[in-house]
Amino acid sequence: MSGWSYTAIAALAVSLAPLFVFGFAGDAIVRACEKLPPFARLILPALFGIPYALVAGVSAGGQWLVLYFTLPILIAILLRRAERADPQQQGNWRDLAILLILGLAVDLRWLDSAWPSHLAVIGKLMLLDSGLYGFLVIRQLRNVGFDLLVTKDDILTGVRELVFYAPIALGLGLALGFLHLHATLPRPGTAALTAGVTFFLIALPEEIYFRGWIQNLLERRIGRMGSLLVTSAVFGLSHFNKRAVTFNWRYVLLATIAGFFYGRAWRRRHRVAASAITHASVDTMWALWLR
């Protein structure tokens, strides 16, 4: 990992740890946190600021260090109030505020200047960690469907939606000049690494955010089809500034259609793993053969 010091690697590992802990032992973590005093539950997520402290140094001080230690606490406090105000989990303005903050911070790269460019992914994972803790432990949002215990049905559902979407994406993408075929056969190691990185660092975080949180909350308020369509549109619009300096309408269109099939995969059994499999497969094939 060129440019990655031992400290940076440690920071990446610490930022990934909550994803795996919640992925394999989420229910146990929720039960353990319920035994803590209320104040402790609200300040515990400050620990998610540790990766930035490792990279910047605890003596660095400054606004970024304060932000990364206090933002997770603020998210926990707001979601605690949302939990009290909206026990039916139909969506509260506090949920919306947090989703907007997390989404815009990633999409518009608000916090990227705090990091060397190759380490910005750690900052995004820290935001995901704060959201996971807030929505699963504090809000205790139902039907998120996030765990890493992938089932046969997850795989079959994910592959099914990939089969539905791939012909549409290929035909439309080539016609629009967005996709370009590359008749190359990657090395098995390269393909496996690309698939793994795509799944854990791109597909899984995005599916937790868009399907597990946004579509999940909207489904209770506007129904299955309404939530699917709205979330697909939001997912598509989140790609407006990707690979272009102006509004990238081709990317938005293809991402919106992709979001429809990702959302279908998630809503079958409310399983993030299913939609992440579709998502990661699409992105991996794009990276290897179509970009």
Q: What are 28-81's pLDDT values in tens digits? A: 999 999 999 999 999 999 999 999 999 987 555 588 999 999 999 999 999 999
Domain boundary residue, one of 125, 141, 157: 141
Same domain, 80 and 47: yes
pTM passes above 0.85: yes
- Distance separating alpha carbons of residues 223 and 229, to the nearest angstrom: 10
The per-residue b/e assignment along 31-66, b for 16 or more CB within 10 angstroms, e otherwise, is eebeeeeeeebbbbbbebbbbbbbbbeeeeeeebbe
Environment class of residue 166 by beta-carbon count within 10 Å: exposed (0-12), middle (13-18) or buried (19+)? middle
Counted domains in the chain: 2
- 58: domain range? 1-141
* Cβ neighbourhood burial of 108 (10 Å; 0-12, 13-18, 19+): exposed
150 and 290 share a domain?
A: yes
Domain boundary among 115, 141, 167: 141
Mean pLDDT, all residues of the chain: 94
List the pLDDT tens digit at each of the 291 positions of the chain.
667 899 999 999 999 999 999 999 999 999 999 999 999 999 999 999 999 999 987 555 588 999 999 999 999 999 999 999 999 999 999 999 999 999 999 999 999 999 988 999 999 999 999 999 999 999 999 999 999 999 999 999 999 999 999 999 999 999 999 999 887 878 888 899 999 999 999 999 999 999 999 999 999 999 999 999 999 999 999 999 887 778 999 999 999 999 999 999 999 999 999 999 999 999 999 999 988
Alpha carbons 289 and 121: distance in angstroms, whole number: 24
Q: What DSSP character marks residue 199?
A: I
